[in-house]
Chain A
Amino acid sequence: MSTPLISIRDLHVEFPHRRTVVTAVRGIDLDIHPGECVAIVGESGSGKSVTARTLVGLAGPGAVVRSERFDVNGRDARQFGEEQWRRLRGGFAGLVLQDALVSLDPLRTVGAEIGEVLRVHGHRGDRKERVRELLRTVHVPEPERRAGQYSHQLSGGLRQRALIASAIAGGPPLLIADEPTTALDVTVQAQILDLLAERRAAGETLLLISHDLAVVARLADRVLVMRDGLIVEAGETGTLLSAPDHPYTKKLLKAVPSAATRGRQLSGTGSTASIEPSAEAVIEASGLTKRYGKHTVVQDVDLTVRRGEIVGLVGESGSGKTTVAQLLFGLVAPTAGSVRFEGADWTGVPERRRRALRRRMQFISQDPLSSFDPRWTVRRIVAEALPRGAVVEPLLERVGLGADLLDRHPRRLSGGQRQRVAIARALAPRPSLIICDEPVSALDVSVQAQVLDLLADIRATDGTALLFISHDLGVVHHLADRVLVMHDGAVVESGPIDDVFHRPQHDYTRALLGAVPTLEAL
């Protein structure tokens, strides 16, 4: 076998902080051979990103890097000074980060950002022409015009392509992509994955970092599963995904929601209890339309949620999902159409008359932290939603939180704990409907599994109806009874979940479903 591009033994990365030391990576081995695609998969805090950045000497300010062997391109990188590292960056390894909106300098044109790599690495010849060529390589249409634009003027997919162009501009033998598709819509994600697959097919070496097993499954030859700074399992992609050895890998794979996981717990072994939704509607919207000036954001949406039913609302960013939630919640008034909630008129009546019913409809957002007063304790946050004098503890227990968290402030809770507090607060007034807007999108897959199990359980035991808004089709297929697919402000298809997802009628639904990376395809 040829010399590996990267060969690392027993890598440790530590961040001394005041008197303590935070250990991000605690002894991993990593070999990357030319032409192969290696993926590191792990949840947040597993050390996967730090590992990737250490490979280009950018572990971070104050980082202490130790290893038994750290060979880059056959040379011992432990002896490297800043100047040697600098020459490797962009020249030997290109780095692609998550979300190009913040990973490209917003004050500089895309062309200037890509051209910068050429300038640093002493590109001879016409730099502008080379930039256009690079943009063409990553399939950016109209490279001439795009090179003169700023990152905020490009769509998410084009931005990410431009970022990849800047990473490959120096012609590096190794491309490191750290969560390259995480901020993207599913159809755009599929395009970027195609692009990476194309680079790999051309013989390029790829190191892929992701939290999503399904994303790497398509591309990687080998997968390394990381947890708490250690590699718990490594192996060929097919073997690792079909026959995982380590309990953590098994748990991760089991936690991924999909059609196959309907009716069973994601975080445990049991099945989730289910109830038959009644025929009585909790909320009923007809002909909902919202225009801002000439812009139609929501177009003629009909939507019904029955008692005890979970209805999924899926669509990509900008499809109008969140506006629908705001219209149902009565935060904005519709331009046309009406909503009835619990049998009473909900739109077109004064807020004074709605107030009594407000407690029956609750809301959970993607980012609960910003919906809490940062100075309040968990106790106060939940107690505010309860009748005066009621105790908080049983409710917290209901959502799986211990009483020891009662006096904590939201900032000192983990993402999963915060979302549980938000759920507890939403449950407190005994609502008949909870509108959940991307409630698990910011969570790691194992935490997401627990929160989804909790939501399923709440529906089954309390009979609470859920309107579940999500861009993640797997999550919706796992949880929902019925689904509505939104595109450009309109509902293009709706019906029972299995009908829509297994026998989609509309082209857009088909495109959406086709773009989802799955583990089952293997």
Chain B
Amino acid sequence: MIVLRRLGAGLVVLWVAATAAYLALLAAPGSTVDSIIGDGADTPLIRSQIIQEWNLDRPAVVQYLDYLWRFGHGDLGRSYLLQRPVRDVIGDQIFPTVKLALAAAGLGIVLAVLLALTTRRPWSRRVSSTAELVLVSTPPFLIGLVLLSVFSFQFGLFPVSGDRGLAALVLPAITLALPVAGVLTQVLRDGIDRALEEPFVVTARARGLRERAVLARHALRHALLPAVSLLGWLCGTLLGGVVIIETVFGRPGLGQVTLQAVGSEDMPVVLAVVVFSAAAYVLLNTAADLALLVVDPRLRASTS
């Protein structure tokens, strides 16, 4: 039941995202024909051919419905710029982006859990929270540039750009992961602090548990609850982040495709990217809600 409801709500979100993007691009200055011609030859004949081929002479509502219909059937259309199916364009570029996002998310989460658990003493805590604040408030591209100049230009440990091998993934992933770790560590630490105030922690200690076990077995789980709710935010940060990071590190990926498509008003590609982002967002938020059910048995009781 709950899954069905979530699925329905997710479809609505996708439709709203697709429509909103469609309207925004419709309202953008410049004609579609200009975008398709791009830098190519521009004659009245070619223009009329293009209008014919892309059905641009039909009313906007019909075009919109047609677009939705084809979208619903998995046909993402053809890129104006590349003259290739959008599905192929995205398919080619999605893997490097997903790889980067997953690596960054994983690294960020592991780092955050480790930091939140280990920096309990007053001084280490102070050092860590200062560092977190700095990381959270620094723009990711700056972190990327600093890392590049130190580890690639200075020491030559990692490649400067491209996506060849694991080594090329290290710096971009760290760049994306650091701000994520910053926010998550603060949320986790705050959650652990609050959990340690609870009476059940006294009971746990009174059983003879080591402090480490109190933290890992009891407090951390309670701290995870607010952190899991942040998964949706995490998704947004990563998607927004990759556009910049892929540019800074000259990596292939959705970020590059998006930049290019927006710049040249390549409508089918932009629409596909928007809907893909919305889908990822819906998916992660649903996953977060399900994860909450796993972590907190009290929620299970109220939904069943």
| A-B pairs with beta carbons under 8 Å apart, 9 shown | A89-B206, A98-B199, A102-B200, A108-B218, A109-B297, A116-B209, A116-B217, A117-B208, A152-B301
Q: How far is the CB of A58 from chain B (nearest CB, A)?
A: 6
Q: Given A120-B209, A152-B298, is A166 in contact with B203 using a C-beta cutoff of 8 Å?
A: yes
Q: Given A97-B199, A153-B301, is A107 in contact with B205 using a C-beta cutoff of 8 Å?
A: no
Q: Which residue of A lies closest to B206 (CB)?
A: A95
Provide the bound-state CA to CA distance between A95 and B206, in Å.
6
Q: How far is the CB of A8 from chain B (nearest CB, A)?
A: 18
Which 10 A-B pairs give the minimum distances between C-beta atoms? A95-B206, A90-B208, A89-B208, A90-B207, A150-B297, A105-B200, A102-B199, A117-B207, A103-B199, A120-B208
Q: When the two chains form their complex, are residues B203 and A58 in contact, meaning their CB atoms are under 8 A apart? A: no
The one of A86, A99, A150, A152 in contact with B208, judged by C-beta atoms closer than 8 angstroms, is A86
Q: Is B295 an interface residue (CB 8 A)?
A: yes
Q: Given A97-B199, A107-B221, is A90 in contact with B206 using a C-beta cutoff of 8 Å?
A: yes
Tell me which residues across on chain B come within 8 A of A74, comparing CB atoms: none
Provide the bound-state CA to CA distance between A99 and B200, in Å.
10
Which B166-217 residues have a C-beta within 8 angstroms of A? 198-200, 202-210, 213, 217
Q: How far is the CB of B209 from chain A (nearest CB, A)?
A: 6
Q: Is A91 an interface residue (CB 8 A)?
A: yes
Q: When the two chains form their complex, are residues A97 and B203 in contact, meaning their CB atoms are under 8 A apart? A: yes
Q: Which residue of B lies closest to A98 (CB)?
A: B199
Q: How far is the CB of B220 from chain A (nearest CB, A)?
A: 10
Is chain B's binding surface mostly helix, strand, loop or mixed? helix
Tell me which residues across on chain A come within 8 A of B222, comparing CB atoms: 107
Q: Is B75 an interface residue (CB 8 A)?
A: no
Q: Which residue of B lies closest to A163 (CB)?
A: B203
Q: When the two chains form their complex, are residues B202 and A107 in contact, meaning their CB atoms are under 8 A apart? A: no
Q: Is B42 an interface residue (CB 8 A)?
A: no
Give the B-binding residues of A (Cβ under 8 A). 53, 56, 58, 86-91, 93-95, 97-99, 102-109, 116-117, 120-121, 150, 152-153, 163, 166-167, 169-170
Provide the bound-state CA to CA distance between A170 and B209, in Å.
12
Contact mask B276-304 → A, CB, 8 Å, 1/0?
00000000000000000001111001000
Tell me which residues across on chain A come within 8 A of B218, comparing CB atoms: 105, 108
Q: When the two chains form their complex, are residues B203 and A86 in contact, meaning their CB atoms are under 8 A apart? A: no
Contact mask B213-236 → A, CB, 8 Å, 1/0?
100011001100000000000000
Q: When the two chains form their complex, are residues A58 and B202 in contact, meaning their CB atoms are under 8 A apart? A: yes
Q: When the two chains form their complex, are residues A58 and B205 in contact, meaning their CB atoms are under 8 A apart? A: yes
Q: How far is the CB of B66 from chain A (nearest CB, A)?
A: 47
Q: When the two chains form their complex, are residues A102 and B198 in contact, meaning their CB atoms are under 8 A apart? A: yes
Q: When the two chains form their complex, are residues B208 and A53 in contact, meaning their CB atoms are under 8 A apart? A: no
The one of B210, B221, B295, B296 in contact with A86, judged by C-beta atoms closer than 8 angstroms, is B210
Q: When the two chains form their complex, are residues A58 and B206 in contact, meaning their CB atoms are under 8 A apart? A: yes
Q: When the two chains form their complex, are residues A150 and B298 in contact, meaning their CB atoms are under 8 A apart? A: yes
Q: How far is the CB of A104 from chain B (nearest CB, A)?
A: 6
Q: How far is the CB of B295 from chain A (nearest CB, A)?
A: 7
Provide the bound-state CA to CA distance between A108 and B210, in Å.
18
Q: When the two chains form their complex, are residues B208 and A88 in contact, meaning their CB atoms are under 8 A apart? A: yes
Q: When the two chains form their complex, are residues A107 and B198 in contact, meaning their CB atoms are under 8 A apart? A: no
Q: How far is the CB of A232 from chain B (nearest CB, A)?
A: 27
Q: How many A-B residue pairs have CB under 8 A?
A: 76
Provide the bound-state CA to CA distance between A117 and B213, in Å.
12
Q: When the two chains form their complex, are residues B205 and A87 in contact, meaning their CB atoms are under 8 A apart? A: no
Give the A-binding residues of B (Cβ under 8 A). 198-200, 202-210, 213, 217-218, 221-222, 295-298, 301
Q: Given A105-B218, A107-B221, A107-B295, is A99 in contact with B199 using a C-beta cutoff of 8 Å?
A: yes
Q: Given A106-B298, A152-B297, A152-B298, is A121 in contact with B208 using a C-beta cutoff of 8 Å?
A: yes
Q: When the two chains form their complex, are residues A103 and B203 in contact, meaning their CB atoms are under 8 A apart? A: yes
Tell me which residues across on chain B come within 8 A of A107, comparing CB atoms: 221-222, 295-297
Tell me which residues across on chain B come within 8 A of A89, comparing CB atoms: 205-208
Q: How far is the CB of B194 from chain A (nearest CB, A)?
A: 13
Provide the bound-state CA to CA distance between A159 and B213, in Å.
23
Tell me which residues across on chain A come within 8 A of B203, comparing CB atoms: 95, 97, 103-105, 163, 166
Q: When the two chains form their complex, are residues B202 and A104 in contact, meaning their CB atoms are under 8 A apart? A: no
Q: Given A107-B222, A107-B296, A116-B217, is A170 in contact with B208 using a C-beta cutoff of 8 Å?
A: yes
Provide the bound-state CA to CA distance between A90 and B208, in Å.
6
Tell me which residues across on chain A come within 8 A of B296, comparing CB atoms: 107
The one of B206, B209, B217, B295 in contact with A94, judged by C-beta atoms closer than 8 angstroms, is B206
Provide the bound-state CA to CA distance between A367 and B295, in Å.
32
The one of B198, B206, B208 in contact with A87, judged by C-beta atoms closer than 8 angstroms, is B208
Provide the bound-state CA to CA distance between A58 and B209, in Å.
12
Q: Which residue of A lies closest to B297 (CB)?
A: A150
Tell me which residues across on chain A come within 8 A of B213, comparing CB atoms: 120
Query: Which of B208, B218, B222, B297 has most chain A Cβ within 10 Å?
Result: B208
Provide the bound-state CA to CA distance between A98 and B297, in Å.
22
Q: Given A106-B298, A116-B217, is A95 in contact with B209 using a C-beta cutoff of 8 Å?
A: no
Query: Which of B202, B203, B217 has most chain A Cβ within 10 Å?
Result: B203
Q: How far is the CB of B13 from chain A (nearest CB, A)?
A: 30
The one of B200, B208, B298, B301 in contact with A104, judged by C-beta atoms closer than 8 angstroms, is B200
Tell me which residues across on chain B come within 8 A of A108, comparing CB atoms: 218, 221
Q: When the two chains form their complex, are residues B208 and A91 in contact, meaning their CB atoms are under 8 A apart? A: yes
Tell me which residues across on chain A come within 8 A of B209, comparing CB atoms: 86, 116, 120
Tell me which residues across on chain A come within 8 A of B202, comparing CB atoms: 53, 58, 95, 97, 103
Query: Which of B206, B210, B217, B296 has most chain A Cβ within 10 Å?
Result: B206
Given contacts A87-B208, A109-B297, 18 further A-B contacts (CB under 8 A): A53-B202, A56-B206, A88-B208, A89-B207, A93-B206, A95-B203, A97-B199, A102-B198, A102-B200, A103-B200, A103-B203, A104-B200, A107-B295, A120-B208, A120-B209, A121-B208, A153-B301, A169-B207
Tell me which residues across on chain A come within 8 A of B200, comparing CB atoms: 102-106
Tell me which residues across on chain B come within 8 A of A170, comparing CB atoms: 207-208
Q: How far is the CB of B298 from chain A (nearest CB, A)?
A: 5
Q: When the two chains form their complex, are residues A166 and B207 in contact, meaning their CB atoms are under 8 A apart? A: yes
Q: How far is the CB of B143 from chain A (nearest CB, A)?
A: 35
Tell me which residues across on chain B come within 8 A of A150, comparing CB atoms: 297-298
Q: Which residue of B lies closest to A169 (CB)?
A: B207
Tell me which residues across on chain A come within 8 A of B205, comparing CB atoms: 58, 89
Q: How far is the CB of A134 from chain B (nearest CB, A)?
A: 13
Q: Which residue of A lies closest to B211 (CB)?
A: A82
Tell me which residues across on chain A come within 8 A of B208, comparing CB atoms: 86-91, 117, 120-121, 170
Tell me which residues across on chain B come within 8 A of A93, comparing CB atoms: 206
Provide the bound-state CA to CA distance between A166 and B200, in Å.
12
Q: Which residue of B lies closest to A152 (CB)?
A: B298
Tell me which residues across on chain B come within 8 A of A152, comparing CB atoms: 297-298, 301
Tell me which residues across on chain B come within 8 A of A109, comparing CB atoms: 297
Q: Given A102-B199, A103-B199, A107-B221, is A116 in contact with B204 using a C-beta cutoff of 8 Å?
A: yes
Q: How far is the CB of B292 from chain A (nearest CB, A)?
A: 11
Tell me which residues across on chain A come within 8 A of B204, comparing CB atoms: 105, 116
Tell me which residues across on chain B come within 8 A of A102, comparing CB atoms: 198-200
Q: Which residue of B lies closest to A88 (CB)?
A: B208
Tell me which residues across on chain A come within 8 A of B210, comparing CB atoms: 86
Tell me which residues across on chain B come within 8 A of A99, comparing CB atoms: 199
Provide the bound-state CA to CA distance between A169 and B204, in Å.
13
Q: Which residue of A lies closest to B204 (CB)?
A: A105
